[in-house]
Amino acid sequence: MTLVDRLRPSGRTSLRNRLSWSASLVVALWVLLLAVGANLLLARGLATQADDVLQARAEATAQTVQVAPDGTVSVLETRDDRALDVGTWIVDAAGVFVESPSGSSPALDAVAVDLARVGDTTRDLEWGEPLRLRSLPITEGGRQVAAVVTSTSLSPYRTVERLALLGSVGVAVLLIVIVHLVLRANVTRALRPVQQMTAQASRWSADDVERRFGAEPRPAELAELAETLDQLLDRLAAVIRHEQRFSEELSHELRTPLARVQAEVDLLTAQPRSAQEQWAAHQAIDRSTRSMTSILDTMMSAARSADRITPGRCRLAEVLTRLADDDGGTTGTPVVVDCPDDLIVGVDADVVARALSPLVDNAVRFARSRVRVHAVRGPGEVVVTVSDDGRGMSEAVAERAFEPGFRGAPEDGHPGAGLGLALVRRLVIAAGGTVHATASSAGGRVVVTLPPG
């Protein structure tokens, strides 16, 4: 399973569709508000225009009205009298028409009389054709002597309003479609780097732990995402390397005791053996299984604690003597231990054994005649030196001796994988000490410092 498969949610949704439709919805709401607002303003403006037309006509007609001293109302003849008479009523104070438009219905005349009595007012009618009537009172000596009522059809204004509404709806729909397409294209272009990163990550596997997104030119947000994912990949790679190194080190440490157990079992099954020989074989198998148990406990403790091993105490001379007996007795190369009996280190005995065992094994393998393990108390530390009288190490080998997988003499036919000294360094550092190799042509020499007990 790839990293993208691990991080991808089970329910898939298109971010491009969600963003484009969300933005389009917002634009649609704004366009709707603007269209409604524009149509309301247009309707208000047309209504005001109709009122202005009626007011102007009423005032022009009022200029033609003449009131006699006895209160009689008459109309002066003018050149535009025919134009003024269209949809115009002149009503005296008694409610009698002085002048009325031709073709007017009795019902409409009655409405005009009512408006004339009310005074300055406006009324809309929906009688077949929408009409608006306006009444303008004519006063004389502080009292109303007559009134002019004018009317106009609202059909042209309603037609303009409908056309404006249809036009605004069409423009709004077209605008929303265009905006949606533009937004979708922009969102697609903006998310293309994300799709490229997704495709790039999907080609990676857990075995290709060194691949990274890198610092390619990207938008700021995606650059931060790439940096975060690179950091996540670094942590995953570190975990994978730690697991691989732990399994390699564990197999490296268990190889020897397992080989001893297998050898003893093969000897027991190959031919009949005496009771003494069987007892010795059983003892060897017991020691090997106990050694494997100790190795597992030590390695698991080191793996769980990661950077720091739980401190303990042990008598260093006992651990070094046991290592000398195991390695020297097996190979025939004497391992001389020079350590005060009362020297105590602040590290558990199993950890000390696991940390120093690969050093003694290497020294025995390269020694010509003997190996020496010297321990002495220093200022605030215990110094353990493992040396042999072999061919020694060059500076290049001494610098890289503790690197995982490095072998100073790969041509010697030894089956090792270059993990023993890497385990030494990890355990010693986790125990609070240090380790380094010294370049020399007069034999190998490795110095380990451990915290005092």
- pLDDT tens-digit map of 257-312: 788 788 888 888 887 888 888 888 888 888 778 767 766 766 666 665 555 566 78
Q: What is the pLDDT of residues 217-235, one digit of tens each?
A: 777 777 787 788 778 777 7
Reply yes or no on whether the pLDDT at 413 is more than 50: no
State mean pLDDT over 113-132: 87
**Contacts of residue 239, Cβ cutoff 8 Å, sequence gap at least 6:** none
- Per-residue pLDDT of 367-378, as tens digits, reads 888 899 999 998
11: pLDDT strictly greater than 80:
no
Residues 346-369 have pLDDT tens digits of 888 888 888 888 888 888 888 888
Bridge pairing between strands 335-338 and 371-378: parallel
pLDDT of 165 higher than 50: yes
Backbone angles phi, psi at 416, to 5 degrees: -60, 155
- Whether 342 shows a pLDDT value over 50: the answer reads yes
**Highest mean pLDDT (candidates 7-16, 129-138, 422-431):** 129-138
User: Has residue 415 got a pLDDT over 70?
Assistant: no
Q: What is the DSSP string of 206-247?
A: TT-TT---TT-S--HHHHHHHHHHHHHHHHHHHHHHHHHHHH
Residue 8 is predicted with a pLDDT of 46
Token representation of residue 378: 């220093």
Q: How confident is the model at residue 405 (pLDDT cuts 50, 70, 90)?
A: low
Q: Which pair of tokens denotes residue 375?
A: 């321990």
- pLDDT at res. 376: 92
More confident: 287 or 419: 287
Burial class (CB in 10 A: 0-12, 13-18, 19+), 5: exposed
Which H helix or E strand runs over 358? helix 349-366
Output Rg (C-alpha) for the chain, integer angstroms: 53
SS (H, E, C) 95-154: CCEEECCCCCCHHHHHHHHHHHHHCCEEEEEEECEEEEEEEEEEEECCEEEEEEEEEEEC
Q: What is the DSSP string of 392-406?
A: -B-HHHHHHTTSTT-
pLDDT over 50 (residue 3): no
What pLDDT, on a 0 to 100 scale, did the predictor assign at position 306?
Answer: 53
Amino acid (1-letter code) at residue 114 = D
> Distance (Å, rounded) from C-alpha 318 to C-alpha 324?
10
- What are the chain's domains? 1-6+13-203 (3.30.450), 204-306 (1.10.287), 307-450 (3.30.565.10)
pLDDT in tens, 49-88: 999 999 998 888 888 888 887 777 777 765 555 545 578 8
* Closest residue by Cα to residue 446 from 395, 387, 389, 366: 387
Taking all residues of the chain, what is their mean pLDDT, rounded to a whole number? 79
Segment 26-49, tens digit of pLDDT: 888 888 888 888 889 988 999 999
Residue 4 has a pLDDT of: 42
